[in-house]
């Protein structure tokens, strides 16, 4: 059991939780994640460790309500306990001195990219952040990222802040202007990461992406999270979730992410009915 010690709404349907988890905080590295389960009958879902404080024994997760389990979690308050919290899972990313690093994130991806940007900055890299959101009010972790970045470039789908359009347009313009980066990392929706990789490939910039494949056990046993990288099968939960973006089969990932859509919708429908007292 792990206690929620703080909760803060960051944007509509996006909430930050601080959770007391000393052993996970002690061992966490940027890019790793936890798997949580809320009840005996509940499913297990992966969530990135967006920050960790070893002294306080606390980890931070940022969660977007997209379906049954994330909506259920949104009802938890400080003082409530999460039944199972497993982690840190995954390999994390390699932190070394590259030079200038472009951190490209979309939507909720800004929270998971933050610990990577922070660690890369601490390792002596210059961080240039490209951050996109649907509207200005949906930016998350932009202040935290600004604190570790030399430059921030913003984009919104509706033009309410920064460039009117995709964050990848801003990245492309930046690179076409002749400015160089030595490494790129991208976290966000699959189409965004795929678009980032198409651009960075043209400029020959090594790029690491964080794949949000569907996970079940998180231990490399079930095969649910399998992805194809350089034509080889990898398990996101133990071999990733960070991979060389130029080698990932994004189309297969997109197809596999939709695999349980019908069951997910039915499950959410039942959950909403229960909350409304219909069932």
Contact positions with ligand FAD (CB under 6 A) in 52-71: 61-64, 66-70
Integer Cα distance of 94 and 4 in angstroms: 30
Task: Please give the structure tokens belonging to residue 33.
Answer: 């994640």
**In which element (H, E) is residue 167 found?**
helix 167-176
In a 3-state reduction of DSSP, which class is residue 241?
coil
- Side-chain half-sphere CA neighbours of 137 within 13 A: 5
For ligand FES, what does the binding mask look like between residues 161 and 200, x meaning CB under 6 A? ----------------------------------------
How many residues bind Mg ion (CB under 5 A)? The answer is 3
Q: Provide the pairing of β-strand 163-164 with 232-235.
A: unpaired
Task: Using CB under 6 A, pick the residue from 6, 221, 233, 272 that binds ligand FES.
Answer: 221
User: With CB cut-offs between 5 and 8 Å by kind, which of ligand FES, ligand FAD, Mg ion, none does residue 170 bind?
Assistant: none
Cβ atoms within 10 A of the Cβ of 39, count? 11
Task: Using CB under 6 A, pick the residue from 19, 215, 229, 253 that binds ligand FES.
Answer: 215
**In which element (H, E) is residue 129 found?**
strand 126-133
Q: Which is nearer to ligand FES, 185 or 211 (CB)?
A: 211
Task: Using CB under 6 A, pick the residue from 6, 54, 220, 270 that binds ligand FES.
Answer: 220
Residue 246 is given by DSSP the state G
Residue 233 is a binding residue for ligand FES (CB under 6 A) = no
Compute the least distance from the CB of residue 98 to ligand FES, in Å: 28
Q: Provide the pairing of β-strand 151-156 with 126-133.
A: parallel
Q: Which is nearer to Mg ion, 119 or 216 (CB)?
A: 216
Residue 20 is a binding residue for Mg ion (CB under 5 A) = no
User: With CB cut-offs between 5 and 8 Å by kind, which of ligand FES, Mg ion, ligand FAD, none does residue 241 bind?
Assistant: ligand FAD
Identify how many contiguous H helices and E strands the chain contains and give both numbers. Answer: 9, 17
Q: What is the edge-to-edge ordering of all strands in the sheet holding 81-82? A: 51-53, 58-64, 14-20, 2-11, 81-82
Residues forming the site for ligand FAD (CB under 6 A): 33, 45-48, 61-64, 66-70, 108, 111-112, 212-215, 241, 257, 261, 264, 268
Residues forming the site for ligand FES (CB under 6 A): 215-218, 220-225, 235-237
């Amino acid at each position: 059991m792990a206690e929620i010690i703080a909760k803060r709404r960051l944007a509509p349907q996006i909430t930050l939780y601080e959770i007391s988890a000393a052993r996970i905080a002690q061992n966490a590295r940027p890019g790793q994640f936890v798997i949580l389960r809320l009840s005996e009958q509940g499913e297990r879902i992966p969530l990135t460790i967006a920050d960790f404080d070893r002294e306080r024994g606390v980890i931070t997760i940022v969660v977007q309500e997209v379906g049954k389990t994330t909506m259920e979690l949104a009802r938890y308050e400080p003082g409530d306990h999460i039944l199972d919290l497993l982690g840190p899972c995954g390999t994390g990313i390699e932190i070394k001195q590259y030079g200038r690093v472009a951190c490209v994130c979309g939507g909720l991806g800004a929270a998971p990219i933050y610990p990577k940007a922070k660690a890369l900055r601490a390792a002596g890299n210059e961080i240039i952040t490209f951050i996109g959101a649907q509207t200005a009010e949906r930016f998350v972790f932009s202040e935290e990222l600004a604190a570790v970045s030399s430059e921030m470039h913003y984009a919104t789908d509706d033009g309410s802040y920064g460039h009117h359009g995709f964050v990848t347009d801003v990245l492309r313009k930046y690179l076409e202007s002749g400015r160089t980066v030595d490494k790129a990392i991208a976290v966000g929706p699959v189409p965004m990461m795929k678009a980032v990789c198409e651009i960075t490939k043209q400029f020959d910039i090594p790029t690491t992406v964080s794949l949000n494949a569907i996970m079940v056990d998180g231990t490399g046993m079930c095969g649910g999270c399998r992805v194809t990288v350089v034509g080889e099968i990898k398990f996101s939960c133990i071999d990733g979730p960070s991979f060389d973006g130029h080698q990932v089969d994004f189309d297969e990932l997109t197809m596999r992410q939709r695999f349980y859509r019908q069951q997910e919708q039915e499950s959410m429908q039942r959950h909403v009915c229960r909350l409304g007292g219909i069932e």
